[in-house]
Structure 1
Amino acid sequence: MAMTRSTLREYFHTEYQPGERKLVQKIDFFILTFCCLSYFTNYLDRSNLSNAYVSGMEEDLGFVGNQLNIINTCFTVGYVIGQIPANLSLHYVKPRYFFPACMVVWAGLTMVTASAQKPQSIMAIRFFQGIAEATTFVGTHYILGSWYTERELGKRSGIFTASGLAGTMIGGFIQTGIHSSLDGRNGLRGWRWLFIIDGIITLPVALYGFIFFPDTPSTTKAFYLTESERALAVSRVPPVEDRSPVSWTFFKNAFSSWLFWGFVVLWIIAGETESFSTNTLMALYLKKHPTTTYSVPQLNNYPTGVPAVGIISTLFWATLTDFLRGKRYLVGYFIGITGVVTSAMVLAASKDPTNPASTAVVFGAYYWAGAVYACQATFFAWANDALRYEQHMFRAIVLAGMNLGSNAVNAWWSIIFYGASMAPWFTKGMWAMIAVSILLAIWTAGLSYMTTKHERARRAEFTESSSGVVVDHKIAEYA
């Protein structure tokens, strides 16, 4: 009990160097406000497609079969193509220029979607939108890992991820408001207004980032940081030599590293445990409900409970794993259990589809499944922790590779297991979810063993070193 009280006291009363608390408050404000607003608008612009689909776009544009899934796949292909180039670009183009420029592009493409007359047009638009949005998630995790200590990282990653879920959640309410107030205004349907308004909302955030975003500790020229604060920011993170990554040796060693593949495969598996939410299965279930016809406001509002649960779960696990000194792997076991149980609930409900209790079970399953969003912040924080002493751009490659691998699989996974034509029960998808959930628990156990072993070896090597400088022996491999 005394140890627990001591741990709690240490966690909530962190000892800072002189001036460090003020520095952390500044970077919290300027980094997190921009990153969270950026991710909020990113998910707002991304999730509006499903909101529009159930709000009249399907009928207006004559969607057939799995065309909605094909559009999502086009976005995913662009997103995959852009991952590694986008993160490597942060080595050459200052983030305060690169992030806002990408935002302006995807905002423009979002507004252009309002003019679409057929599903094929949206397929082309979403492909390029995917490229523009590629750096938002992994690029931000790279920036967070550059500024924050291991003790601080989980909470910040959780807040950032929660902002994206807030965009998904609020998107439903925005669409409801737009549909009721603007549907038919100036001859435009409500779902078209949604794309226009979402795009406009993004532009002020891009301007804010261009003015205030501080880049990285070693390159920042932010006017609100003093010279001593810039030096302190550099001293808070491990002194890792940062060389240009454009060389055959760098890529060869990076792609042959067990750290790369360990975390890439982790996120490939974990990404598919989010399939219930990312494929908006609850909205499609309501749209194709076997006995009940739901109104447009209900179709948009009821699924908002999914990201709401995701926000709570994300913040809880991000904070808890910080408190537990970085035991991020625990989330993998929680998600494994969640995936198995929620899938079993939907499968059981499908056996008696006209029973009112069946609907209640499905609602409960999809809301609970929203909790798996916790893996986004926690697993990327885990990767940042494990790669803290590696070359910066190797860390960027791993983070980008994680999202690339996950989306490359999701591009076809969603069509095979969660096609819109499979609504309302997605039986194949439920069995696929059970399989990946079990696999996630197994992979998490193996990776946690390897990363713990790697960290012990690094500490032993540092202890034996007489230089007193924390330098990982693997850094030289990426030169």
Structure 2
Amino acid sequence: MAFKRIREYVSHPYEHPGERKLVQKLDFFILTFCCMMYFTNYLDRSNLANAYVSGMKEELGFEGNQYNVINTVFTVGYIIGAIPSNLALYHLKPRIFFPTMMIIWGALTMVTAAARHPGDIMAIRFFQGLAESSTFVGTHYILGSWYTARELGKRSGIFTSSGLAGTMFGGFLQTAIHSSLSGAKGLSGWRWLFIIDGLITLPIAIYGLCLFPDTPSTTSAFYLTSSERALAISRVPEVPERRPWNLAFLKRVFSSWYWYGFVMLWIIAGETESFSSNSLLALYMKSTKNYTVSQLNNYPTGVPAVGIISTLFWATLTDFLGGKRYLVGYWIGITGIVTSAMILSPHASVASIFGAYYWAGSVYACQATFFAWANDAMRYEEDSLRAVVIASMNTGSNAVNAWWSLLFYSANFAPKFTKGMWAMIGTCIAMVIWTSGLLYMTSRAEKRRVIEVREEREDDKSFEAAAVDADIKV
């Protein structure tokens, strides 16, 4: 029986003629662009850490927690831009909006190479955060608009993994640049890193401008036939018409348990990624002064590598299990508690500390699965509510992370980050509790929807029976 289920899942029999060909086209044009966009998004974002440990700290005279302040400033820009970016997708075609934002953040990345003081980078990163906020929540909204519940988790996992690949590639790129371009044209290696990162972004933006298909109801992509466009619309449930952006809609949002449940879920889950998002392994290594520049850039790449494997594994598994995304919440809880305890141990060896940070990278799986969970749960709700909830999830997480990282993971807390380890343990306990509560709410909503559908069908049958009786009497 289990083998049969696996075979059916792998072969994925489609219900409609031409559906397999349609999904293959969507995978090629949507996933290639979104993955490359997110790859450069994380490449441009995460290379601040690579530059910091590769000479930028000394050259620009960083002091105290200025590095963390820069991350906080970026987060503030990211918070401000997230919800407006998702709302913009209603008024601007994604094919125009996404590439425009890419060009802006690519240009800002290159401008970073001219920085002379940490304050310069703070100003640049604020506007970079505004531009980059469009990618993550916008793509999850787009994926939920095109793909069915059975397909969504795996695609979300592939998308999320591309960002982790950008983080991992950034370390290797900085190593290559430091060894080959450092000093060229009078520029340090870390300055060349930002220039090259920005240049990589531009051709991908042009690709999206030409080939991204927008949404099923607005697409004009030349590679989709009229029958494929109709099929794309029919594959996703009909939902209530988008409501106007007025006070009534805001009341609808803030009275919905979806908003509170999933926003809080991602606020908690976002902080379980703190070891990785704050580059603690790199800061730990830097504080010991026992590693070369190449080692400082290369060794931490194991963290996103584990994240990629974990993301793809859990995204595929939860699709196969019929959308049981909540399982990842329990995995995160176990991982965070155990890895924190390993690092806190007074007898922790260097090997066990490295092992703990690598294992902690597996919590990145929550990005794909939790946003897929939100898309699944709101599949029958109006698109405007789904868009706001998804954007609010990321906004809420970043709003907390703006001060959370300063409070618990400041660079001057290295090497042990003791306060951060205890914060992680508390966060993971909260993760398990909240996941259980949200599972109860989503299960109850699904049961209610099934009952409503059954009642509608019975009413339709009763109406048809009454009509037949009337015809007979006539």
TM-score range with shorter-chain normalisation? over 0.9
Higher-Rg structure is: 2
Q: Please report how far the alpha carbon of residue 256 of structure 1 lies from its aligned counterpart in structure 2 after TM superposition.
A: 2.0
In the alignment, the residues of structure 2 paired with residue 83 and residue 411 of structure 1 have an alpha-carbon distance, to the nearest angstrom, of: 14
Partner of 2:128: 129
Distance 1:272 1:413 in 2: 8
The equivalent residue for 1:91 is 90
Give the length in aligned residue pairs: 458
TM-superposed deviation, 1:244: 4.6
Per-residue deviation, 1:358: 1.1
Query: What is the aligned-residue identity percentage?
Result: 71
Counterpart of 1:37 in structure 2 is 36
Q: Structure 1: which amino acid aligns with 2:339?
A: T
Distance 1:245 1:119 in 2: 43
Q: 1:313 matched to which residue of 2? A: 310
Quote the offset at 1:204 in angstroms.
Answer: 0.5
Distance 2:182 2:254 in 1: 51
Unpaired segments ≥5 residues, structure 1: 469-479
Supply the AA of the counterpart residue of 1:105. Answer: I
Partner of 1:250: 249
Alignment of 1:217-256 (within 5 A): 217-256=216-255
Task: Find the aligned partners of 2:223 and 2:53 in 1 and give their Cα distance.
Answer: 45
Alignment partners' CA distance in 2, 1:450 and 1:241: 21
The answer to whether residue 403 in structure 2 is matched with residue 406 in structure 1 is no
What does 1:41-60 correspond to in 2, within 5 Å? 41-60=40-59
Partner residue in 2 for 1:14 = 12
Indicate the residue corresponding to 2:467 in structure 1.
Answer: none
Is residue 432 of structure 1 aligned with residue 423 of structure 2? yes
| Structure 1 vs Structure 2 CA RMSD | 1.0
Q: How far 1:371 moved relative to its partner?
A: 0.2
Asked if residue 375 in structure 1 is aligned to residue 366 in structure 2, the reply is yes
Instruction: Give the corresponding residue for 2:328.
Output: 331
The match for 1:452 is 443
Q: 1:139 maps to what in 2?
A: 138
Q: What whole-Å deviation, never above 9, does each CA across 1:73-112 have from its counterpart, x for those lacking one?
A: 0000000001111001101110000000000000011000
Q: State yes or no: 1:388 paired with 2:379.
A: yes
Deviation larger for 129-138 or 247-256: 247-256
Segments of 5+ residues of structure 2 without an aligned counterpart are: 461-474
* Offset from partner CA, 1:320-341 (integer Å, 9 cap, x none): 0000000000000000000000
Q: Quick one: distance in 2 between partners of 1:280 and 1:410?
A: 14
- Alpha-carbon separation, structure 2, partners of 1:409 and 1:415: 10
Offset of 1:459 from its aligned partner? 1.3
Measure, in 2, the Cα distance between the counterparts of 1:437 and 1:427: 16
Q: How far apart, in 2, do the equivalents of 1:245 and 1:328 lie? A: 31
Give the TM-score, by structure 1 length. Answer: 0.94
1:100-158 deviation per Cα after TM superposition (whole angstroms, max 9, x unaligned): 00000000110000000000110111011000011100100000000000000000000
3-state SS of the aligned residue for 2:349? helix
Counterpart residue identity of residue 13, structure 2: E
Match of 2:340 in 1: 343
Deviates more, 1:380-389 or 1:249-258: 249-258
Structure-2 separation of matches of 1:391 and 1:82: 22
Match of 1:471 in 2: none
State the alpha-carbon separation in 2 of the partners of residues 245 and 68 from structure 1: 42
After superposition, where does 1:73-92 map in structure 2 within 5 Å?
A: 73-92=72-91
Query: For the residues of structure 1 that align with 2:233 and 2:332, how far apart are their CA atoms?
Result: 36
Q: CA deviation at 1:439?
A: 0.5
TM-score if structure 2 supplies the norm length? 0.95
The one-character-per-residue Cα deviations of 1:212-249 (angstroms, maximum 9, x if unpaired) are 00000010000000000000000000011332541111
Give 1:255 deviation, angstroms: 1.9
Q: Which amino acid in 2 is paired with 1:345?
A: M
Which residue of structure 1 aligns with residue 208 of structure 2?
209
1:307: Cα distance to partner? 0.1
Matched, 1:188 2:187: yes
Indicate the SS of the match to 1:288. helix
Query: What's the CA shift for 1:288?
Result: 0.5
Distance 1:248 1:121 in 2: 40
- Corresponding position: 1:179 with 2:170: no
The equivalent residue for 1:362 is 353
What whole-Å deviation, never above 9, does each CA across 1:406-428 have from its counterpart, x for those lacking one?
A: 00000000000000000111000
Distance 2:81 2:249 in 1: 19
Once the two structures are superposed, what CA deviation does each residue of 1:49-77 show, in whole Å capped at 9, x if it has no partner? 00000000000000000000000000000
